[in-house]
Amino acid sequence: MWMQQEISLKPRARGFHLITDEIERAIADLGHIKIGLLSVFIKHTSASLTINENADPTVRADFESFFSRSVPEDQPYYQHTLEGSDDLPAHLKSSILGPGVQIPITNGRLNMGTWQGVYLCEHRNHGGSRHIVITVQGE
């Protein structure tokens, strides 16, 4: 059994945002799947997806603080600078965090840990709407 859905996420501020609910709403009928996988892929090179703590918002704030220090803007050795100070660091962060996540499905539900959620990682100051492809397979 295969299902696929492409959705647009509303524009978000630069930073890390929980989107687990939006993914679950887009794929309504996991209930029929006993064993499977859900794959989410972001169609951009300056935003990314990851899985992390879904409770305390300070974790997501600290992610933005850390990654913006770890991948700094305006380094003298950067050559790709025409699209703004946030552009090349956004590409770098996207590859460090990655464009996709894969989550197991067990007995009709996403089989994540209690504290896990999916983050949209918006690395641009004004990234606009982001498009993701959700693919579900299972039996």
**Is residue 63 classed as helix, strand or coil in its secondary structure?**
helix
Cβ neighbours of 36 (radius 10 Å): 21
Q: Indicate the DSSP class of residue 32.
A: G
**For residues 29 and 18, what is the distance between their CA atoms, to the nearest angstrom?**
21
Q: How far is the CB of 28 from a copy of itself (least distance, A)?
A: 16
Among 4, 121, 132, 18, which Cα is nearest to 68's? 121
**For residues 48 and 67, what is the distance between their CA atoms, to the nearest angstrom?**
12
Identify which range of 7-15, 18-26, 89-97 contacts a copy of itself by CB under 8 A: 89-97
- Identified binder of a copy of itself from the candidate list 7, 22, 26, 78, rule CB under 8 A: 78
By CB under 8 A, the residues from 31 to 70 that bind a copy of itself are 35-37, 39, 41-45, 50-53, 56, 58-59, 61-63, 65-66, 69-70
Q: Is 22 exposed, middle or buried (0-12, 13-18, 19+ CB in 10 A)?
A: middle
Q: How far is the CB of 67 from a copy of itself (least distance, A)?
A: 8
Q: How far is the CB of 62 from a copy of itself (least distance, A)?
A: 5
The contact set with a copy of itself (CB under 8 A) reads 2-4, 6, 35-37, 39, 41-45, 50-53, 56, 58-59, 61-63, 65-66, 69-71, 75, 77-80, 88, 91-92, 94-104, 106, 111-113, 115-116, 119, 131, 133, 135, 137-139
